[in-house]
Amino acid sequence: MRVLGIETSCDETGIAIYDTEQGLLAHQLYSQVKLHADYGGVVPELASRDHVRKTLPLIQAALSEAELTSADIDAVAYTAGPGLVGALLVGACIGRSLAFGWQVPAIAVHHMEGHLLAPMLEDNPPAFPFIALLVSGGHTQLVRVDGIGKYELLGESVDDAAGEAFDKTAKLMGLDYPGGPRLAALADGGQPGVYKFPRPMTDRPGLDFSFSGLKTFAANTIAAADASEQTRADIARAFQDAVVDTLVIKCRRALEATGLKRLVVAGGVSANKALREQLQAFTRQIGGQVYFPRPEFCTDNGAMIAFAGAQRLLAGEQVDIVIRTFPRWPLEQLQTPANAD
């Protein structure tokens, strides 16, 4: 069964074709980073318009890459939320219309479920159950995963997500958009321990996160420091170390509380090299294992949507002709397919 996946939740247009027997057949991605760079962040209207321009050409490119035609597609999966409402509507309208025209099922996919399942596209996928750390610009969540649609939210950010804090701190430091990766690159040249940042909400029980105060601490540190490149690198290093340590501490707590040894880390921040190294070291220490998607599948992409859609279709799920999107869609409200194992 071949599933066409369409991802348009924010500022990347991602298209992919996934075959349930052969795996990923095609993967096309267009990033709008240059379009939004002058504004210092994503402009929703511009994002929607660019998805209109790029989605259909990328679908044709994916079909060509896989050496397929529309007659070879068995289903269409599209991101229905959460995300920017205009951007979501572009992908949902195109996806549902193609499914109707091709007379194949359509599957509305939860964006964060796509991220959560992205490591299953790799050669050594995790088995259920596991703990998932979903860490991106819009979300920081710890989730117990017992199967497709069987999710228990263990903790989440009460204010800024980790990726959002990275981007805002980078902007305070005068770094160009997108700031998170640029701050991480700057941190590579920083000396550890020159500045000491707090590890928020690690001095109390629980699995929730808070990064807003860390951003404020960074702003005060930047304002009081000199403007040398080494100082900037040292501040970036201190900030990154604080975020990474906080995420690792909470992951450790989640695994200890559940007794599980498998950890999945997905979302844009999962590409951060320091985070990967720390989590790999920690899981080895406890005799566990951590799973990451490949770097190109950490950010938004069509492959994760095609894969998640295929799993839900195999479980008997599809949507009716009505097009619906959900700009706010808590993961814990996602239903378990009736035929899921």
Tens-of-pLDDT digits for all 341 residues of the chain? 999 999 999 999 999 999 999 999 999 999 999 999 989 899 999 999 999 999 999 999 999 999 999 999 999 999 999 999 999 999 999 999 999 999 999 999 999 999 999 999 999 999 999 999 999 988 999 999 999 999 999 999 999 999 999 999 999 999 998 899 999 999 999 999 999 999 999 999 999 999 999 999 999 999 999 989 999 999 999 999 999 999 999 999 999 999 999 999 999 999 999 999 999 999 999 999 999 999 999 999 999 999 999 999 999 999 999 999 999 999 988 888 867 66
Pairing mode, strands 130-135 and 140-147? antiparallel
- Quick one: 279 and 317 in the same domain? no
- Quick one: 167 and 285 in the same domain? yes
- Quick one: 41 and 54 in the same domain? yes
Residue 340 lies in a domain: no
Residue 338 lies in a domain: no
Q: Please report the pLDDT score of residue 31 as a whole number.
A: 96
Question: Binding residue per annotation — 123?
Answer: no
- Quick one: 152 and 222 in the same domain? yes
Q: Please report the pLDDT score of residue 341 as a whole number.
A: 60
Question: Binding residue per annotation — 115?
Answer: yes
- Quick one: 111 and 7 in the same domain? yes
- Quick one: 192 and 253 in the same domain? yes
Domain holding 213: CATH number? 3.30.420.40
Q: Please report the pLDDT score of residue 230 as a whole number.
A: 97
Q: 302 is in which domain, residue-wise? A: 2-117+297-333
Residue 184 lies in a domain: yes
Question: Binding residue per annotation — 139?
Answer: no
Q: Please report the pLDDT score of residue 340 as a whole number.
A: 64
DSSP string, 248-312: HHHHHHHHHHHT--EEEEESGGGG-HHHHHHHHHHHHHTT-EEE---GGGTSS-HHHHHHHHHHH
- Quick one: 278 and 328 in the same domain? no
Tokens of 21: 């027997």
Question: Binding residue per annotation — 183?
Answer: no
- Quick one: 9 and 106 in the same domain? yes
Question: Binding residue per annotation — 31?
Answer: no
Closest CA to 199 of 135, 252, 246, 235: 246
- Run of H or E including 27: strand 23-31
Q: Please report the pLDDT score of residue 337 as a whole number.
A: 82
- Quick one: 188 and 286 in the same domain? yes
φ, ψ at 139 (rounded to 5°): -140, 140
Tally of domains within the chain:
2
- Quick one: 179 and 50 in the same domain? no
Residue 147 lies in a domain: yes
Which amino acid type is present at position 216?
T
Question: Binding residue per annotation — 135?
Answer: yes
323: number of Cβ within 10 Å? 19
Question: Binding residue per annotation — 138?
Answer: yes
CA distance 313 to 214: 42
Residue 68 lies in a domain: yes
- Run of H or E including 313: helix 302-314
- Quick one: 219 and 244 in the same domain? yes
Q: Please report the pLDDT score of residue 333 as a whole number.
A: 86
